[in-house]
Amino acid sequence: MTVAAVIVASRGGARLAQALASVEWAAERIVLDPAGRLGDAPLPPGVRRARQPSEAAASWVLLLEEHEVVPAPLATTVRELAAASEPPVAYRIPRDVDLFGTRFALRGAPVRLAPRAGARVRVGRGVAAELHAAGRPNRLHEPLLGRNAGSLAQAVDDLDADAAALAALLHADGVRPTLPRLAAASALAGVRALFARAAARGVWVRWTLAVFAGYRAMVAYAKLWEMRRAEGSRLR
């Protein structure tokens, strides 16, 4: 069985190029552009656009956000699972984040590997892209690696683009932007980041990570509210 690597794009450029390079081993490489930020920008040879993972031809789908890459140990595990003869089930994959030289292991693990049939992208708890698949998912040990910008200004720009992509996914899923949902999503994302595991103390960096995570969730719901409001204005 083969694997299609599907990347949720948010702004393109170097981040998208790194994500695509980390999955060159995949039988297919597909880019989703839910917020339409890429426009007509060319993609590397062999990479194509799609709206949902179910458009892939491969039997398995591995989902990444644009700021994430697949380290070699995870790539090996994914290939071995795809080649196994056991009945296919979905898998949760943990995520590590490298922020200003400190690596954190985030709490929680979204579903990122699943059989292609019926798979679709949604926004899960903690406001992270994940695959919706039938059945009870297992969990892998090897993590994805998220890479953040080297400066605060660049990181804020990246988070704004990521939030736009997540808002578009929430909109496509019919989610209503209520204040309780915004508060709960922002708080959960921030708390998970605040209590992420790290070898070094990095108190300031940890706090920055938590603020970024909460900010991303808050902006995603704020952008969703803007989209719903614009729809309401057009219907009047």
27-74 residue pLDDT tens: 999 999 999 989 888 899 999 999 999 899 999 999 999 999 999 999
Q: Where are the domains of the chain?
A: 3-146, 152-235
Tokens coding 19: 């994500």
Judge whether 64 and 147 are in contact, CB under 8 Å: no
Phi, psi of 216 (to 5 degrees): -60, -45
187-236 pLDDT per residue, tens: 888 888 888 888 766 678 888 888 888 989 999 999 999 998 887 766 55
pLDDT(148) > 90: no
The answer on pLDDT for 3 being more than 80 is: yes
Report the candidate in 144, 147, 146 with the shortest Cα–Cα distance to residue 70: 144
Higher pLDDT: 72 or 136? It is: 72
Q: List pLDDT tens digits, range 177-187.
A: 888 888 888 88
What tokens appear for 13 in the block?
């450029």
Per the structure block, which two tokens stand in for 234?
């057009």
- Interatomic CA distance for residues 231 and 154, integer angstroms: 31
Q: Cα separation of 195 and 27, whole Å? A: 36
Mean pLDDT calculated for residue range 130-141: 88
What are the tens digits of pLDDT across the range 60-117? 999 999 999 999 999 999 999 988 867 678 999 999 998 878 889 998 899 999 998 8
| Strand stretches in 72-116, DSSP E | 91-92, 95-99, 102-105, 111-115
Cα angle at 199 between 216 and 184, to 5 degrees? 25
Cα 24 to Cα 5: distance, rounded to the nearest angstrom: 9
Mean of all residue pLDDT scores within the chain: 89
The DSSP secondary structure of 150-197, one letter per residue, reads SSHHHHHHHHHHHHHHHHHHHHHTT----HHHHHHHHHHHHHHHHT-E
